[in-house]
Structure formats: C-alpha cells, structure tokens
Chains A and B, each alone.
Chain A
C-alpha cells in the first residue's frame, strides 16, 4: 500500500481542529424557568459535564471525517499482482503517419511492425489501432478481432501533416478512463515532434509504453524550406521568386534549384549549401500566363525524403486594375503622390483615373478596384449613394480628409461624428506625430510607425461606428476602418497631398498606399501558400448562403452540398494545389505544403526515449522485446472510492447525532418561543 500524493497527509494536522473546538467550546446551558426552587437541592452531577461526555461520539465522528478526507486527497492505493491473462491491459497500437514517415521505407516498416505485433497477440487480447498525423485518429474500437485490427493498420496512409507526441499523450490519457493499457508506438521518434516540456510526454499512470523505432538515427535531408513568390503578377519582368534551401544533417553540397511553372521549368540555378546549413536562390522575372499558375521550386534529389524537395506556390497574372481618385477640384495634388507610390510598389499595380466629384457622379464605380476620395467635402447625392452601394457590394474606399472635410458634421460613408479640425503652423514643434498603430492590420503591416511624419492639419473624428487603426500622439484618430456590407471604408483624418502633412515624402507612404490599395481591392484575403492542417476561410458572413467550392489536389470536390452552403472554413489536409471558388464568385488557387519542421529527421536521444517509456508504469522492457502476456504484473488499485463511501456514511451518522445533541430540548424551545396563555 502507498500514497500517490503523500504530501496531502500534512492535512492530518486538521484532525486536531474538532478536538480543539470541542474542548474549548463554551457550553451555554439555557436556564429553564421554574416556579420555585423551594424543594430543590444542588447535586454534584453537572449538566454541562454530562453533555460534554455525550459529545465525544460526535467529536470522534468529526475527526474521522477529516481523517478520511485527508486520506482521500493523499490517494492511497494497494498493489495487486496480476497473473498472466488476469486483468489484462488493453493494447493500443499507434502508427505514426506524419510527413517525416514518408522518408525511405519508414512508413512501410511501421505498418509491418504493427501487423506483426497484432499477429503476436494472445487470442482474446483486446486491442485498438490509432494513427498519429495532424491529429490522433481512432481507426478501430477495442476489439479482439485480429482481422479488424489488421485492416485498420492497412488502411493507414502516409500523411502530410505534422505529428505531435503531446497530442498523442493527451488522447491516451482520455482513453485511460477505460482502464490500464499497454501502448505500442511505431514511429520514427522525430525530435521535432516532441512537445516543449518533457512533462507533457508523461504517460498516464498504470500504463505502459513500448516504443518501436523505425528509420535511421540521423538521415541527411535537403529541403526547399520556403519560396516567396508574389501572389499577383502584373509585370512579369518585375516578378521575383525567392527560395531558401536547407540541409539537415547534410554535408556541404551543390544543389540545383529549378523554378517550375505549370510543369515547365523556367529557370535553373545552382547553389552551394553549406554543411547542415542554408542557401538562397532568387529568380527574377516570372513569365506566367494570364490567370492562375501553379509554381514550384524544386531541387535535385539524393535523400530519403523526396516529398520536401519541392515547394509549391500559386500566382495569378492579370492586367493592372483600375482605381479611381475623386477630388473636389482643389486636391489634384494627391493623384501625383498616389501614382508615384503605386508605380514604386512591386506588388500593387493599378491604373489611377482622376476625376472631380461632379464627373464621378456619372461613372459606374463597379469597374474600379478601389476608390480614393481626396478631401471631398460635399459630393453630389448621386455619387454618395453610388459609393454606398459600391462599398456594400464589396468595394473599398479610402477617404482622405483635408481642410474641406472639417466643415462636415459627419464623415462620408463611415458616418462618424466630426469634432472640428486641428491646425498647426509649420514652424517650431507645433505639429502632431503618429502614436499607436495597429501593425497587425493588413493595411499597416509594413508601414512601420509612420516615423518622422509631421501632421500640420487633421480632422478630429470621433470613432463612433468605426474601428481605430492608428492614432495621433494626442490619442485622436488618424486612420479608421468601418466595414459596410461586404466592403471596407478606410478614413485617413489628414490629406495625402503633402500640404496638411509631409507623409508622401516619407518611406512609409509607399507601403501604406500599396497595402491599403491591395486590402481595399480584396487581393490579400488569402495567402498564396499555406501549411497542411491550416484552415481556409470560405465566408466571413454566415448569411452568405451562396455555394462555395473547393477542389482538392486530386481534382475531387472536398465539400458536401451542405458544407458548400454553410461551412465558414475548411481544413487542408494534404499537400498540393486547391482551387477555391468563394461565395462572392471570386476564384483562387492556393498552394499547400507540409510543415518543414517535419523535414528534420533527427531522432530524439536514446536516453530520452527510455525515460519516456518509464513515465507510465516504469517498465524497463527494451523496445521490441515486449511480450505483454508472458509475465505477471503488478497493478495499483486506488482506495479512494471506498474511503468516499465510508466518508459518506460517517457524514450521515454525524448529521443524525448532531441533530439529536445540538437541537436542544424541544419542550423547552416550545415553552420559550410560544406566547403564554393569558
């Protein structure tokens, strides 16, 4: 017998508590009125003493309750030796199907090992089969049917997800509720699959882990670690693809890197990869055809894991989209700076059309990717209505507010109240600077902190319906965003013309305009390359009931009819290209690749593996030498359920005793509480 949490035995000190209370408690005897004590005589037997004597039973029961409670927390157990075949632990067979298992014949060896394990099980022994990929999948229920177990193992396919041993332990702990178990894990013991804390690997108590390692200790592996390609290509000559080649456990080597687009090799380069290091390759000019293209960076093989010798990406080539700049006749300067910024951008390409508000009232806005309103104070009503409809249908508008806008009561479109304008002289320090900026927002991600920008005039907008993305140093709003329908409105509380501020002259102007334009045009909704196991958003608004379609790498539709009309997102499980058609009709091509941490095939140290196996029952059986049926085992049986039962009984008896002892004489209580008859 022993205790799993012996430190709780310190709570035994609390047993003295009822003793202290019973000894020191003042027994107050309520005097009972009597007409005359004429014939009474004092006797030595004290009622208080008598009552104390009777309380001893109550005291003992209370002490017993605390004792039982403390013992329960200490979690006592007794050991019981199990003979072969008695109280058998359920066998759990786990096969690792993570991306790294694709190296060489690891996966096949793991399956073979599991099959031989199943064939060696004693008849009638219960087992279940699990597969570890991006999550733990139960492939069979606990069964004694070897055929069912074998079929479950054979059905396991190599995956592209990243395995996590921590996830496996969590699942095993939940299975532990069904009783003790013996886990046989067929894996490559990849170091990167370990959780950050070793304690997270601790097996559930009363369980046994047997690791069956497959593959080599350290297999050298080259990998295309990443490839950065533009999502949209407008000018093929300006497009650049940047790739990083890494080696894990590899000697220095020359690797040939190829840029492949739609199956056609566009360019090839040779890089020197240092031993166990990285090298980069850059391809300038991507001759992509119009529409979506499937790109890859490939390296020549020579290692066991070939699946990571290519890195996929998706690009879309198109003509520059049109954007509209509307001014009121005084703010034409803004077009100069906006055009310059767009031209300087590598990832944004728009044809800026400039017109006055009166002219724009007669133009269809739907053909523009985004619209900039440069300090338009009083647009015609028809233009305002057209802008509202444009935004509701998914368009994006950037408002810049100069001195003219200060005369308005509320901002255009966003409808936030305006509290006037703030002016400053150019001389001295009388200017505002930018304060807090939400750099996580897509429009401000690379715009920095607007360092050095001086704002001489700004409109004070109270954010009533909009969200503040950037603030001035005096905490007034600098950039606000409001979502209307499917579209967005960005409100910049100063102008973009180098008059109210010197923003256009600073380096942060170009990325701000570029990203804002892309954000408003809806070009950054989905990255071109994502990891296996990621979720892709299908619809932001659940009220969108138009169908979405997802076609997987194998050309099959991945969504059921119901999912296509209601699912907010879906999870990508395999490498390859996914074609996506959103509810609003937009089409996208997404490249999915495996997590590159799976490419490091280094094993966990042998001593760590041994330690891991000991975390459960402490069984030191070496890997591969386990025979679950041959030896007698010891089993720890917890005693707390019995203690709980006894505690319940004692508590009930204590209640009865306490009621009887402490309730007092009912006749006396009645006599004292009821009014006397007159």
Chain B
C-alpha cells in the first residue's frame, strides 16, 4: 500500500524534502523486507588464519580458547563510508512532460539516499552544479548534516548549461578519503566526455554511482503534430515531425543510453538509467541491486 506513496506525482504533493525522503525510505524499506545494512554494517564473512603482522584486534579469541589456533574474523562491509552526492542543476533538468520535472525527481532521489546515508552515520556531502558549482555541502557526520543537505537541495534551481569538468575538479579536491560518489544527471553529453570526466574519480578509490535521469518524453517522445522545439539550454529551435521523433530519435536515444551504460560500466562506474515517470523505489531497488552485486 505504501508503494503508491513513491509515485513521483504523489511525492510532488508533499512539501518539504525531509518528509519526502522519509516517505521514500520508509516506504521503500517496508516493501523491501531487508536490512538496510547494505555493506555499511559489520557482517561476518569468513575466517582466515593468522599471519604475523595481522591486527590482533581481529583475532577471534573464542576460537583460540577452544582450539588454541589463531584465526582472524573478517567482515563484509565497511562502516563510516563518505558519501558525496552530485546533483546536475542545469537548465535541461527543468524539463518534465509529467507533473514532476527531472530536477524535482533528482531532488527526491538525492534526499532519499542522503536520508539513508545519514542514518548509517556516513559522512554525507552534496555538490549542486551546472557549468560551475552552485551549492556545496562538505561531507560530514556532524549533527544537522541532513538538514544542511536538504536545505541546499531545496535551494537548487536549474541554471545554465551543463559542464562536468569544473565541478568534478572541485569535488575531487575535497575527497580526501575514499568513499561513494553518487552523480544524478540527465547526461546530455557524449559518453566519451562523460567517461573522461568521471573516470578519474574512480581512480581515487571511490565508488562512483551514476543515475541517468531521463523523462518519458525524452525516452519515447510522442508528438501528435509537427512541433517547433526549443533547446532549454542553448535556445536553438528546430521543427520536428512526429514521424522522426517516433523512429529515428527513439533509436538514437536508445543507442545513446546503451553506449553510455557500456562505457561507464567499462570504466568501472555504476550506471543506472532512471525514467522519471516510474516510481522512485524502482530506481532505489535497481541501484541497491547493482550495489549488492559489487560488494
């Protein structure tokens, strides 16, 4: 029953990102019936024989008492991970054929993930960008971090054109320890350029998760009549026929998404395509499934 609260149009009727995030996460978790400790909690994985030099704190002394052999206890997850969210607030994110625009959907998504991350006591940060950094919250575990993130999210308004280079350089300067980097964008750029910009983030030992947000009309455009389209970022106009949009454009955008997925995954980045007309939990579930596979 709570599933319906995760519909984008329902979330659009909820004021306040904190409430949205809480609604999303609680609804999502109650539907998942799974522990939220996806790698961040201590979970037993295996025993390994002790070798000189190993940290004695990990020795299972109960086993040693019974067998007088020293074994080390190993765990699956890491705790206190640093999670940084990067939200694309370019003009194209303002688009939305339904009741919820891409930027609104992205805010819900980031808010929900931040809510979960803060709940895990992760150091959580946020970077809002278009062609430059428009909002920055230093990753931290301090009290009130969630409110700072949500407040920055709330103030984020679509700005100019997208440019990934400058914001990513900025974020890279503040990432001193390896962690999780979550990028939410519509990625209107060549896959090669995207990979070129994001791949260095991976080299620093970070896990990079990319949410590719696209509107249903962008994925499967339906025009009754020939229309004059205006680019929201460049302002260019172009007359488009319904036939072209239904055939060639659809092929091109599908090819673009496939290309983007293969190239990003090939570079070790996690890629998830999100249709903003779909419920938010589908994106979360897809993301967690992908994360689980990698852990």
Residue in B232, B243, B248 whose beta carbon sits within 8 Å of that of A36 in the complex: B232
Distance, CA A39 to CA B245, complexed state (A): 9
Distance, CA A252 to CA B229, complexed state (A): 105
Nearest opposing residue in chain B for A664, CB measure: B225
- A40 close to B (CB within 8 Å): yes
A11-50 residues at the B interface, CB under 8 angstroms: 29-43, 45-47, 50
**B240 x A43 contact (CB < 8 A):** yes
**A31 x B228 contact (CB < 8 A):** yes
Residues of B within 8 A of A46 (CB): 226, 239
Residue in A32, A50, A51, A665 whose beta carbon sits within 8 Å of that of B230 in the complex: A32
Least Cβ–Cβ distance between A35 and chain B, in angstroms: 4
Residues of A within 8 A of B245 (CB): 40
Least Cβ–Cβ distance between B166 and chain A, in angstroms: 20
**A32 x B232 contact (CB < 8 A):** no
**A665 x B224 contact (CB < 8 A):** yes
Indicate whether A33 sits within 8 Å of B95 (C-beta atoms), given known contacts A40-B249, A45-B226, A678-B104: yes
Nearest opposing residue in chain B for A671, CB measure: B97
**B237 x A36 contact (CB < 8 A):** no
- B289 close to A (CB within 8 Å): no
Residues of A within 8 A of B256 (CB): 39
**B102 x A35 contact (CB < 8 A):** yes
Least Cβ–Cβ distance between A26 and chain B, in angstroms: 14
Residue in B99, B215, B227, B241 whose beta carbon sits within 8 Å of that of A35 in the complex: B215
Nearest opposing residue in chain B for A666, CB measure: B224
Q: Mark contacts of A80-96 with chain B using CB atoms, 8 A cut-off: 1 yes-contact digit, 0 otherwise.
A: 00000000000000000
Residues of A within 8 A of B229 (CB): 31-34, 37, 40
Residues of B within 8 A of A51 (CB): 225
Least Cβ–Cβ distance between B18 and chain A, in angstroms: 14
Range, interface on chain A: 20 to 34
**A33 x B188 contact (CB < 8 A):** no
Least Cβ–Cβ distance between B99 and chain A, in angstroms: 6
Indicate whether A32 sits within 8 Å of B188 (C-beta atoms), given known contacts A47-B239, A678-B104: no
Residues of B within 8 A of A677 (CB): 12, 96, 99-101, 104
Least Cβ–Cβ distance between B252 and chain A, in angstroms: 4
Residues of B within 8 A of A36 (CB): 92, 186, 188, 231-233
Q: Mark contacts of B101-120 with chain A using CB atoms, 8 A cut-off: 1 yes-contact digit, 0 otherwise.
A: 11010000000000000000
Least Cβ–Cβ distance between A322 and chain B, in angstroms: 102
Distance, CA A41 to CA B225, complexed state (A): 16
**A35 x B228 contact (CB < 8 A):** no
Nearest opposing residue in chain A for B250, CB measure: A39
- B94 close to A (CB within 8 Å): yes
**A38 x B228 contact (CB < 8 A):** no
Distance, CA A620 to CA B179, complexed state (A): 115
Least Cβ–Cβ distance between A372 and chain B, in angstroms: 96
**B232 x A35 contact (CB < 8 A):** yes
Q: Mark contacts of B75-101 with chain A using CB atoms, 8 A cut-off: 1 yes-contact digit, 0 otherwise.
A: 000000000000000001111110111
Residues of A within 8 A of B244 (CB): 40-41, 43
Least Cβ–Cβ distance between A58 and chain B, in angstroms: 16
- A676 close to B (CB within 8 Å): yes
Distance, CA A34 to CA B226, complexed state (A): 14
Distance, CA A668 to CA B92, complexed state (A): 17
- B55 close to A (CB within 8 Å): no
Nearest opposing residue in chain B for A31, CB measure: B230
**B218 x A35 contact (CB < 8 A):** yes
- B236 close to A (CB within 8 Å): yes
Distance, CA A417 to CA B100, complexed state (A): 82
**B241 x A45 contact (CB < 8 A):** yes
**B228 x A32 contact (CB < 8 A):** yes
Distance, CA A671 to CA B98, complexed state (A): 9
Least Cβ–Cβ distance between A45 and chain B, in angstroms: 5
Residue in A33, A665, A671 whose beta carbon sits within 8 Å of that of B232 in the complex: A33
Indicate whether A39 sits within 8 Å of B252 (C-beta atoms), given known contacts A32-B228, A32-B229, A45-B226: yes
- B253 close to A (CB within 8 Å): yes
Distance, CA A117 to CA B229, complexed state (A): 85
Nearest opposing residue in chain A for B95, CB measure: A35
Residue in A35, A37, A42 whose beta carbon sits within 8 Å of that of B186 in the complex: A35
Least Cβ–Cβ distance between B15 and chain A, in angstroms: 9
Nearest opposing residue in chain B for A42, CB measure: B238
**B95 x A29 contact (CB < 8 A):** no
Residue in B12, B100, B230, B239 whose beta carbon sits within 8 Å of that of A33 in the complex: B230
Residues of A within 8 A of B188 (CB): 35-36, 38
**B239 x A34 contact (CB < 8 A):** no
Least Cβ–Cβ distance between B193 and chain A, in angstroms: 12
Nearest opposing residue in chain B for A38, CB measure: B188
Residues of B within 8 A of A34 (CB): 95, 218, 229-232
Q: Which of A42, A46, A676 has the most CB of B within 10 A?
A: A676
Least Cβ–Cβ distance between B217 and chain A, in angstroms: 8
Nearest opposing residue in chain A for B227, CB measure: A32
28 CB < 8 A contacts A-B: A30-B228, A32-B229, A34-B95, A34-B218, A35-B94, A35-B95, A36-B92, A36-B188, A36-B231, A38-B188, A39-B249, A40-B240, A41-B238, A41-B248, A42-B238, A43-B239, A43-B243, A45-B241, A46-B226, A46-B239, A47-B239, A47-B241, A671-B97, A677-B96, A677-B99, A677-B100, A677-B104, A678-B154
**Which 5 pairs of residues, A with B, have the shortest CB-CB distance?**
A47-B226, A35-B95, A35-B92, A31-B230, A39-B252
Residues of A within 8 A of B (CB): 29-43, 45-47, 50-51, 665, 668, 671, 676-678
Known: A34-B229, A36-B188. 11 other contacts (CB 8 A): A33-B95, A35-B95, A40-B229, A47-B225, A47-B241, A50-B226, A665-B225, A676-B96, A676-B104, A677-B100, A678-B154
